[in-house]
Amino acid sequence: MSTHVANTGMKGLIEKAEFNRFGIICVVLTIVGCLGGIAVGLGAIENYLTLTLVVVPTMATLSLLIAVAPMRSILIAGGISFIIDMMMILYFTLS
Q: DSSP E strands: which ranges in 1-95?
A: none
Task: Please write the tens of the pLDDT for every residue from 71-89.
Answer: 889 999 999 999 999 999 9
* Distance of alpha carbon 58 from alpha carbon 71, whole angstroms: 16
Q: What is the pLDDT of residue 21?
A: 86
pLDDT at 5: 54
CA distance 71 to 51: 26
pTM of the model: 0.81
